[in-house]
Amino acid sequence: MAGVGVYRTGIAANWIDYNGHLRDAYYGLILSHGIDALMERIGLDAPYRTRTGCTLYTLEMHIHYLREVKGDASVSAEVRILGVDRKRIHAAFDLMVDGHDQPAACAEAMLLHVQQAPAASSQPFPPEIAAAIAALQRSTATLPQSRFGSRQMQLPQG
Amino acid sequence: MAGVGVYRTGIAANWIDYNGHLRDAYYGLILSHGIDALMERIGLDAPYRTRTGCTLYTLEMHIHYLREVKGDASVSAEVRILGVDRKRIHAAFDLMVDGHDQPAACAEAMLLHVQQAPAASSQPFPPEIAAAIAALQRSTATLPQSRFGSRQMQLPQG
């Protein structure tokens, strides 16, 4: 357990590619639904979004694909809060497959609080949301960190 | 033009999320199809995969989401080869929206040549594939580089 479980799903048939396993992009879709579930958990839910016109935008995501996932798997997304400032959340996600104790993928995302209208503009979190993020950060701070974080990719030179 | 165009698509209705724009994961799906198109281009096509049992696995992907994409957009993926070794390709992708000269997303991916059976194992590229990759690398080497590459994400501390 490297994070708080926020989302569970099976694997849809059309998520399997010609290699016979979960297409890379659908790891990302599961993690994207994990971000939605994180939003629910910290109060950025549909009523909040309707009331305030604010939501989260994903600025960056870095995924490490560590293991193949087959079509009969049940998977879950676990989240840790790595950092937060007035407007941004830096979160880590592990994609876990039932029956395996090591993640099939590890990811980091940078998320920005945005008011969408009249033109998209970043906005500070209101106090109650900031408090909920801080509480989740405290509860996940002591969990083991993944070795697979965001980084500069580079092949050995020469 | 920051790369060689390899894939074009419209936006499917179910790719639009509750924020009214392309969900983050579907940028990844378009890029994933861009990887497929890159494979076709360098000879790692379906006949090759059937004959050799070899394919590409995505090891890592880092995406920067730079601009919203709406449901009526037509988009394309452009690729540059940043590096290659005996078994791996380090590629950059730009996701371009028709009518805009700046990318809506920039990404880097690390791709590994794998023989899938009997157990997945990395394999060197055969000479003709290595030559095709080298040719594509030469033809994209002088194109302008994106400012948005893979990197360690971190919020300012304290």
What pLDDT, in 10s, does the model give residues B32-57? 999 999 999 999 999 999 999 999 99
Whether the predicted model's global pTM rises above the 0.90 cut: yes
Maximum C-alpha span of chain A: 56
A with B: how many residue pairs have Cβ under 8 Å apart?
118
Residue of B nearest to A84 (CA): B155
Judge contact between A15 and B29, C-beta under 8 A: no
A67 contact partners, CB below 8 Å, separation of at least 6: A97, A100, A102, A103, A104, A105
Residue A24 to residue B32, Cβ atoms within 8 A = yes
Region A36-40: what's the mean pLDDT?
Answer: 97
Mutate to test the interface with B, among A55, A70, A153 (most CBs of B within 10 A): A153
Instruction: Read off the amino acid at residue A97.
Output: V
Judge contact between A58 and A38, C-beta under 8 A: no
3-state secondary structure of B51: helix
B112 Cβ under 8 Å from any chain A Cβ = no
Judge contact between B73 and B6, C-beta under 8 A: no
Please measure the distance between the N-terminal and C-terminal CA atoms of chain A and give it in whole angstroms.
40
3-state secondary structure of A25: helix
Listed residue (B24, B23, B34, B74) closest to B56, CA to CA: B34
Residue B153 burial class via C-beta count within 10 angstroms: exposed 0-12, middle 13-18, buried 19 and up: buried
Least confident of B28-37, B85-94, B143-152: B143-152
* pLDDT higher than threshold 90 for residue B146: no
* pLDDT higher than threshold 80 for residue A157: no
Residue B51 burial class via C-beta count within 10 angstroms: exposed 0-12, middle 13-18, buried 19 and up: exposed
- How many whole angstroms separate alpha carbon B105 and alpha carbon B120? 31
Judge contact between A150 and B150, C-beta under 8 A: yes
* pLDDT higher than threshold 90 for residue B156: no
Residue of A nearest to B34 (CA): A25
| Of the partner residues B18, B65, B85, the one whose CB lies closest to the CB of residue A58 | B65
ipTM of the predicted assembly exceeds 0.90: yes
- How many whole angstroms separate alpha carbon B79 and alpha carbon B93? 5
Instruction: Read off the amino acid at residue B157.
Output: Q
Average pLDDT of chain A, as a whole number:
95
